[in-house]
Structure 1
């Protein structure tokens, strides 16, 4: 006569596949996170100042000026749009008509000619902007 042995079901869950998926996601986020910080490569001046907390990029309109003087407008998660100097005022005015609460920030490369920055600020003034924030970086210590 055969004796049947009842086996208990395995109550432990195999978590190895979940750990693998988690590590892959972690690597993906680590690689893509630095790319989300800024759209246009600009080396801003290093100055001691109070840090600006930009939690919600959709609340800001960022005008970036590259080292060669080209202007870009960055808004939220959209791709930066290259804008000619003559079109900055009308472009920004159109955006601010739709969203008047946007804060305007100016990120200019360290090597940009002062006159170029003033030209962009003049265009912003023509668009009705009364206050422009200047973006800098903290100096290396």
Structure 2
């Protein structure tokens, strides 16, 4: 929890510094945005900020839709995520010419949908296990 707060705070401070530097350098909105998008270090900081925001959004959505996760659900999620990320990174080699921020955003959306699908599948299996266990116990 402390590491996540530290990473969030650090990325927020870095993003603020990069945007402020660009604005004080260019003094107008449009040239500032052009500078931010053309500068590789600025884009790296903005990508890190986007990653942190997506991570926090995922944690929030997980809390809203699933509440507290059981240890087995978390273990299944981590195991499946490693395989999905590895498989997708191998697929990136095929699409390396089309690699863009839009492509990364769609990949992130795909990974989110997969994770929530796996969590829902684990919850349904857990509920069915207790349901069938009670039916068998009644007989």
Is TM more than 0.5 here? Answer: no
TM value normalised by structure 2: 0.28
Larger-gyration structure (1/2):
1
The structure with the largest helix share of the pair is 2
TM value normalised by structure 1: 0.27
The structure with the largest strand share of the pair is 1
